[in-house]
Amino acid sequence: MNERIPRREAPDFRDSEDGLISSIVEDGFLNVALDDANQYGPHAMIIFLGLASVLTGSILGLAMIDPILSAGTVILIVGIFLTKYLIAKFSFFGG
């Protein structure tokens, strides 16, 4: 019997013999959390969602105290990520 919606191929998966933390560090946190690089993908995703919720809650908490603090925090976070991206993309500082 044919399926109406064809299944996609399984992503590349590496079964790790190491523990949770060492496996996530070895394969890269975002690679494990978003691409399920090894069997700890669901664990890494829960950690990622926890960090995202803490960051969001902190920004909203600062907004309740003073909106300028919240805006400054968002600008700082975006600036940090933008700077890291530009350094990686254009290899500033001979890196």
Number of domains in the chain: 1
Banded pLDDT at 93 (limits 50, 70, 90): low
Residue 70 located in a structural domain: yes
Residue 9 located in a structural domain: no
Tokens of 68: 């300028």
Read off the DSSP letter of residue 40. Answer: T
Residue 31 located in a structural domain: yes
CA distance linking residue 26 with residue 44, whole number of Å: 13
Residue 15 located in a structural domain: no
Residue 8 located in a structural domain: no
Q: Which domain holds residue 86?
A: 20-94
Residue 12 located in a structural domain: no
Per-residue b or e along 80-92, where b marks 16 or more CB atoms closer than 10 Å to that residue's CB: eeeeeeeeeeeee
The H or E element spanning position 53 is: helix 41-65
Give residue-wise pLDDT tens across range 8-41: 787 777 788 888 899 888 888 888 888 888 889 8
